[in-house]
Amino acid sequence: MALGACARTTEPAMAEPVVLDLDLSALEARHGGRLGVAVATEGKRAAWRGDERFVYCSTFKMYLAAATLLRVQSGLERLDRAIPITAADMVSHAPVTQPAVGSTLTIEQLMKGTVEVSDNPAANILIREMGGLEPFRAFYRGLGDTITRVDRLEPEMNRLDGDKDTITPDQSTRNIERLLVSADTPLSPASKTLLMRWMTETPTGQGRIRAGVPVGWTVAHKTGTGGYGPVNDIGLILPPTGAPIVLAVYFHATADSTDAQREAVIAEATRQALKALGHG
């Protein structure tokens, strides 16, 4: 008898996720604009316009920090490397870099500033230091993401121009799962800890995903705001018990809506997405 025939085993097939209903048509109709949502947790997913493109605005800065952390892990970068900050680096919204003009900030300080308070020059500097937009594109492709576009720097990348600098909610949740949930994440425990700390401690977006989760739940997230309608929030929701929940919400609101109204839509979309998963 051939021993090889007995020794071979078959790998178990991966179970397909259960796709749940998430109908946000009434929320869209009530507030106008276009809303894209994707949510995922252990074996369950739901989405509304999940495969449509949305301009991502500053939500990309979470991915930029992850890409930089991978460079640190590979020895191509150092957390403590000091970068000179110059007046030529300055563009709008520079709460961390503007006070540092004429001095230096470390790579770690630049990442913290771009994730926690969405500093635009910090993001541009990090992209420059990794070699430009092409290495950043390669980071997404390394995650298996062939969808996300990387075309421009801050602040131009916020401007709607076809498919430039866009992502889909479905793809964003897959990226977050790979980086922050999956056992095969390319991030080391130390890198993941840093990124999660910045995403949890950010003071931005209090009225967005955070406003839509039950009291006592933790949210690690990154906001993005276009200034002319787009208001976004993506990240990881950690219930007191049970599996983490990945959520991406992209809302291109009407130009005449207020910031508070736009954020309230994200909070309500969060509540409805959690309800679709069986929470609440």
Active site residues: 58
Closest CA to 72 of 111, 34, 98, 43: 111
> Residue 250 CB: number of other CB atoms within 10 A?
30
Contact 123, 114 (CB under 8 A): yes
**98 residue type, one letter:** Q
Distances (CA, A) of 202 to 169, 213, 237, 265: 21, 16, 14, 20
Give CA–CA dist 42/15, Å, rounded.
11
What is the dihedral sign for C-alpha 37, 270, 224, 176? Answer: negative
